[in-house]
Structure 1
């Protein structure tokens, strides 16, 4: 079997679609079935092996892909990458319009230069800023004209047989990250919003909005849902997730305090210098030994932290004569 049942009433099956990433080896995709209807939550990364696993699981579960509804928690490669391979033409795919627009914006002509300049203003070299800006460009993972793309958001409902699942907006990891809640059982399909294997990265929002505050607010929203079981995209389903939600919130507040203390102790640092002084949870002492992808995650989240502090006047910043932000309290 290519799936395991992780919940009954509604019947939910987990499919581990393989993909080696920074700290994970698979994306958990979920299939909800009832009354001959099916809902597929996420598709996994675009590899031949992943496609074979997901296709086999759907076949074993008797899912008619033409009649099924597909729901994407967000548009990262390891979640939406198999839409073209697995979803038939004309089938319904539900996704966030915010994420769709954010991904499309990264392919605009001016995006690379604007993003490179953003990194350079934080003190990164031209080479590093260019590399990070290039990495931030999101690929088009599927053809929106080929499918029945439906944009969904807070409070929208998806029906599967006797069950109604409610869309919950949980921005932070991406600007338009979505979760899906089934009230009668209390299960939450949380995507990458709350994870145990890693602390989810926080996105730089394209409109300059405070991604960290959005994430903290989303954690508060999950606390208030009445959720009883969390189905995560990486790792195993958890019933004991409330402490993790609290830990994630406290973790980010502690990072804010740490960054503010670094600025207070050494006024005049660039953003990159502040970010490098933060104690990140990576198994390397030297910056150069950290992988490119992890450095990209660290720098982008570090900028999110500094933006949050500056927006709240907890630190101040001024451009020097080289056009680089200098931070002080």
Structure 2
């Protein structure tokens, strides 16, 4: 079963909050809660309101868990810090280095402003710029705890195992709770459009690691799958089919790139074409943004085939 509209309780004590385009996930056990994902800035007040409606007080939120250091996954973190003063921020060491960079955060803030404008044009009930308070700019985002493969994020009596799942980014982490079979994967399977059952693969840091990460996640037997855009999935068979679809879509995308370049299309022209297609899926930022990202995908596919020198 696909869940596309938060707020929604996916399993006992575990919710999808935020918005459809930028969900965050909240786990509560006893008197303690943790937020997984850091969203965009405009999501901050939405999550605060949703938590209040659930009766989860500000002091209950003890952890803010960053899946990876991309702007649409961290820019609500400064707001969360102010809203939830007892909370510590956790992330991988690679993500922490990015979040400590003033240059990176300045760029992230520019992108976040663009995303806020885009969601402001959505129908009533979606995140709008009017919901986002005027927040003072931050220079960096501090991380209190460094996470790595094999660590555990404890929320009351619940235990989420930390999995390194590179490919989308070098700093990507996933989180698995074996008892409830909850799996938070963020962008490990790319950008999924449920109404079209279509994936835009996002192997920005490596094609082979990206596929290996998805295959590893497939073997966990999750019954709740938490994506970072547009949906969460409930049901072991549906999740298994989703992950198989993500693998197939990624392999097909890679083949398309390699065959196009071997057939004579330039890498630059191909990136432009793929970028236009991605932009049409989610026109939330300028076309150039998507074309630059697709240039990375072309580069990674060519490198995986030993064609890195192709132009």
TM-score by length of 1: 0.68
CA distance, structure 2, for counterparts of residue 85 and residue 12 of structure 1: 21
1:244 to 242, 245, 266: 242
Q: 1:41 Cα deviation (Å)? A: 1.1
CA distance, structure 1, for counterparts of residue 59 and residue 175 of structure 2: 20
1:296 aligns with 2:289: yes
Aligned runs of 1:165-204 on 2, under 5 Å?
Answer: 165-194=160-189, 196-197=192-193, 199=199, 202=202, 204=204
CA distance, structure 1, for counterparts of residue 230 and residue 296 of structure 2: 28
CA distance, structure 2, for counterparts of residue 304 and residue 196 of structure 1: 16
What are structure 2's unaligned runs of at least 5 residues?
1-5, 108-136
Q: 1:185 Cα deviation (Å)? A: 1.3
Tell me the SS of whatever aligns to 2:215.
helix
What are structure 1's unaligned runs of at least 5 residues?
18-24, 112-138, 206-210, 285-289, 318-325
Give the match for residue 230 of structure 1: 225
| Counterparts in 2 of 1:63 and 1:178: CA distance versus 1, 3 Å | farther
Give the match for residue 126 of structure 2: none
- Answer 1 or 2: which has greater helix percent: 2
Tell me the SS of whatever aligns to 2:174.
strand
Q: Greater shift after overlay, 297-306 or 92-101? A: 297-306
- 1:77–1:141: 8 Å Cα contact kept in structure 2? no
Aligned runs of 1:70-219 on 2, under 5 Å?
Answer: 70-87=64-81, 88-89=84-85, 91-102=87-98, 107=103, 142-144=140-142, 149-194=144-189, 196-197=192-193, 199=199, 202=202, 204-205=204-205, 211-219=206-214
Deviations 1:288-327 (A, max 9, x none): xx886344324433333334323532x362xxxxxxxx44
Deviations 1:192-218 (A, max 9, x none): 22353263552644xxxxx22221111
- 2:163–2:175: 8 Å Cα contact kept in structure 1? yes
Q: Greater shift after overlay, 244-253 or 62-71? A: 62-71
Deviations 1:55-81 (A, max 9, x none): 122333323447611111122333221
- 2:27–2:33: 8 Å Cα contact kept in structure 1? yes
| Counterparts in 2 of 1:102 and 1:52: CA distance versus 1, 3 Å | closer
| Counterparts in 2 of 1:277 and 1:3: CA distance versus 1, 3 Å | closer
Count of residue pairs brought into register by the alignment: 262
Q: 1:3 Cα deviation (Å)? A: 3.7
Give the match for residue 45 of structure 2: 52
Tell me the SS of whatever aligns to 2:192.
coil
CA distance, structure 1, for counterparts of residue 40 and residue 46 of structure 2: 11
- 2:15–2:25: 8 Å Cα contact kept in structure 1? yes
Tell me the SS of whatever aligns to 1:43.
coil
- 1:84–1:142: 8 Å Cα contact kept in structure 2? no
- 1:166–1:181: 8 Å Cα contact kept in structure 2? yes
Give the match for residue 16 of structure 1: 18
Q: 1:33 Cα deviation (Å)? A: 0.9
Larger radius of gyration: 1
- 1:69–1:94: 8 Å Cα contact kept in structure 2? yes
